[in-house]
Chain A
Amino acid sequence: MELKDFIANFAEQFDETDVNEFKPETVFHDLEEYSSLVALSIIAMINEEYDVTLKGDDMSAAVTIEDLFNIVKSKM
């Protein structure tokens, strides 16, 4: 899987945040729109697209989008 595609999929879970805000180094927990509901959408997207089931701890351990990408990659 490609980081670029992962970021695009990640960004799709947000409605209002500008798409240019999503970069590998983006600290996604700090995005204004990020919420527990968005977190669920991200977990669902990762489950569907990559067949990986994340835990809540994985979501909190990841600081940047790239961190999350690496966690997903390690579980594939």
Chain B
Amino acid sequence: MAFYNLPNIRIAAVASAVPTEVVKLESFADKFGADYVEKYKEQTGVQQFRKTREHQTASDLAFAAAENIINTKGIDRESIGALVFIAHSKDYWRPATACVLHKRLGLNKDCAAFDISLACSAVPYGMYVVGSMMMTSDIDRALLLVGETPQKITNPDDKSSCMLIGEGGGAFLLEKSNAEGAGISGICRSFGQGYNAIIMPGGGFRNPNPPTEEYVWKDGNRRSMYNVMMRGEDVFAFTISDIPKTIKEYLAKVEKTVEDFDCLAVHQANKFILQMLCKKLKVGQEKMPMCLDRYGNTSAASIPMVLGDVYGNRDDAKDINVLMSGFGVGLSWGVCSAKISPKDILPIIETDEIFEEGIINTPEDYYNLSK
């Protein structure tokens, strides 16, 4: 079992950010028919989502979330010893987006910065990697940043997913702590046979330049090789069987029950999946909050966002016990838990800030970059 236990690490802050543009599902009625859109809303729970501007990236959203933590909490930038950015929506083929964020956040050279290529499962994996690094080093403080902008690679005529996917970014500040209640534990899992269940087939090194032509796929949707293809039925079946199973195994391992948790912050896949998970875990839906109605499925960002949505404006003195689970593309999934003070959970903020200097169209742009 890929079970991890980080007894001296705590989540010291959580933040999230979304772009300002709101897309309402009604706006798709002309294209897909009002009846289909209504049914889609009912079953997935999505009423609207946020969409980035051209050139606005996942790292812009994660940057805004990280800045919010640093400024609100008065964190000394020099004290951050690691920055890990987990996303598929990266800024460049090279360098690592974490290095761009390292510059923008004005962090010290004495800081490990790198990317991890995962999406929906980013939070349980990130806690594992960043927390383990801290436990085996003298790093006392680290940033785990996540974000996704999948609308950019979803075909606008793909009626199976173009109304589901939202965009967002998130940040966690992890700290070493010996205080009572500190500690993060979790489980990470993978099923590589499902690598093609959610895939963008073109543009990577395996097939760098396939034609940009759009095909009508078996499910009736139009996509090119540069769009995301999702075998929804397979992903759904995987989710409703493997996720509750992994959560139950985790609970058995840490000798807890769902009753011990104040909140199940679960990846906002869609309403139907969340309802199935509640049923299988035998918890009331009030314990598994939803923000996908307003933000859609925001992949890696959905855990910090749902926390920000519920606890962002609360300052209850008592820590909450949070179970988090992320699952999806890979197939990759995990579960983890930690005690968090609601005071350390910041509300979701909006941003349209773009790292303009990073848009390089000509050699001139390049040579004008700040050194």
Q: Do A and B come from one complex?
A: yes
Within 8 A of A (CB), among B229-248: 231-234, 236-238, 240-241
Q: Shortest distance in angstroms between A49's beta carbon and chain B's nearest beta carbon?
A: 12
**Any B CB within 8 A of the CB of A40:** yes
Q: Does A56 lie within 8 Å of B240, measured CB to CB?
A: no
Q: Given A44-B272, A44-B276: A36 and B237 within 8 A (CB)?
A: no
Within 8 A of B (CB), among A21-56: 35-37, 39-41, 43-44, 47-48, 53-56
Q: Does B39 lie within 8 Å of A43, measured CB to CB?
A: no
Within 8 A of A (CB), among B180-228: 218-219
Q: Does A40 lie within 8 Å of B219, measured CB to CB?
A: no
Q: Does A54 lie within 8 Å of B237, measured CB to CB?
A: yes
Inter-chain contact count A-B, CB under 8 Å? Answer: 46
What residues of A have a CB within 8 angstroms of the CB of B233 in the complex? 36, 39-40, 43, 54-56, 59
Q: Shortest distance in angstroms between B358's beta carbon and chain A's nearest beta carbon?
A: 38
Total A residues in contact with B, Cβ cutoff 8 Å: 17
Partner of B237, one of A37, A41, A53, A60: A53
Q: Does A36 lie within 8 Å of B219, measured CB to CB?
A: yes
Total B residues in contact with A, Cβ cutoff 8 Å: 18
Q: Does B160 lie within 8 Å of A44, measured CB to CB?
A: no
Encoded as 1 (CB less than 8 Å from any A CB) or 0, chain B from 22 to 61 comes to 0000000000000000011001000000000000000000
Q: Shortest distance in angstroms between B248's beta carbon and chain A's nearest beta carbon?
A: 14
Closest A residue, CB atoms, query B231 = A56
Docked CA distance A55–B241 (Å):
11
What residues of A have a CB within 8 angstroms of the CB of B43 in the complex? 37, 40-41
Closest A residue, CB atoms, query B242 = A53
What residues of B have a CB within 8 angstroms of the CB of A47 in the complex? 237, 240-241, 276
What residues of A have a CB within 8 angstroms of the CB of B234 in the complex? 55-57
Q: Shortest distance in angstroms between B283's beta carbon and chain A's nearest beta carbon?
A: 16
Q: Shortest distance in angstroms between A43's beta carbon and chain B's nearest beta carbon?
A: 5
What residues of B have a CB within 8 angstroms of the CB of A55 in the complex? 233-234, 237
Docked CA distance A53–B39 (Å):
24
What residues of A have a CB within 8 angstroms of the CB of B231 in the complex? 56
Docked CA distance A59–B241 (Å):
17
What residues of A have a CB within 8 angstroms of the CB of B40 in the complex? 37
Q: Shortest distance in angstroms between B317's beta carbon and chain A's nearest beta carbon?
A: 40
Q: Shortest distance in angstroms between A47's beta carbon and chain B's nearest beta carbon?
A: 5
Closest B residue, CB atoms, query A55 = B234
Q: Given A44-B272, A56-B231, A56-B233: A36 and B160 within 8 A (CB)?
A: yes
What residues of A have a CB within 8 angstroms of the CB of B39 in the complex? 35, 37
Q: Shortest distance in angstroms between A36's beta carbon and chain B's nearest beta carbon?
A: 6
Q: Does A40 lie within 8 Å of B241, measured CB to CB?
A: no
Encoded as 1 (CB less than 8 Å from any A CB) or 0, chain B from 149 to 179 comes to 0000000000010000000000000000000
Beyond the given A40-B272, A56-B231, please list 11 additional residue pairs across the A-B interface where CB-CB is below 8 A.
A36-B219, A36-B232, A40-B233, A40-B236, A43-B240, A44-B236, A44-B276, A55-B237, A56-B233, A56-B234, A59-B233
Sort A-B residue pairs by CB-CB distance and give the 7 closest, nearest first. A56-B233, A53-B241, A56-B234, A53-B237, A37-B43, A56-B231, A40-B236
- The 10 listed contacts between A and B (C-beta, < 8 Å) are A36-B160, A37-B39, A39-B233, A40-B43, A43-B236, A44-B276, A47-B276, A53-B238, A55-B234, A56-B234
Residues of A within 8 A of B (CB): 35-37, 39-41, 43-44, 47-48, 53-57, 59-60
